Structure formats: structure tokens, C-alpha cells
């Protein structure tokens, strides 16, 4: 997880990812995160849905959306899916 995404979050995992269970459903997994802020929970959810899934974050705060957008491409291209 990009470090700048969660500096103000006291419980942010600071770059660690949780162990994710393997998704075995034939359906494409997806997550909709309402009030996603800087995208922290979206990054965590991405570990669960895997490469074939999708995660969409929605927020109304321009400053937090800017942080999320700034790091989204880096996360999607540099962090391997487990």
C-alpha cells in the first residue's frame, strides 16, 4: 500500500497486506467502497478480490480523492496480486 495513502489513519497497516483467502467462485468478485477516502480499504479489498476482481471507491472529498487517484496506478502496476 502506498505510504502516503494513510498517514492520518492510526490503524493503517503501513504497507503490509493481510493474508487473503483464495477466491473460488466462478463469478467475478467485486467490491464497492462508499466513503472510500484516500483508498486505504480499496487497496486491502484488492488483495481479496485478486487480479480478476474489481474494486471501486466512491468519496465526495476532493482532497482524499486526489490522494487515492495519485497512488492508484502505482498500486495496480507495482503490487502483485496474491
Q: pLDDT for 50-65, tens place per residue?
A: 888 889 999 999 999 9
Question: What CA–CA distances, in Å, run from 8 to 21, 25, 38, 52, 72?
Answer: 28, 35, 10, 31, 18
Cβ-Cβ contacts under 8 Å for 51 (sequence gap 6 or more): 81
CA-nearest of 34, 75, 32 to 55 is 32
What sections of the chain are H helices per DSSP? 40-49, 62-78
| pTM of the shown model | 0.61
Lowest model confidence (mean pLDDT) among 14-18, 21-25, 29-33, 37-41: 14-18
Amino acid at each position: 500500500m502506498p505510504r502516503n495513502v494513510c498517514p492520518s489513519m492510526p490503524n493503517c497497516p503501513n504497507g503490509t497486506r493481510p493474508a487473503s483467502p483464495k477466491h473460488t467462485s466462478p463469478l467475478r468478485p467485486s467490491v464497492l467502497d462508499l466513503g472510500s477516502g484516500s483508498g486505504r480499504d480499496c487497496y486491502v479489498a484488492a488483495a481479496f478480490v485478486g487480479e480478476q476482481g474489481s474494486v471501486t471507491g466512491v468519496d465526495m472529498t476532493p482532497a482524499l480523492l486526489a490522494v487515492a487517484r495519485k497512488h492508484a496506478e502505482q498500486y495496480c502496476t507495482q503490487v502483485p496480486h496474491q
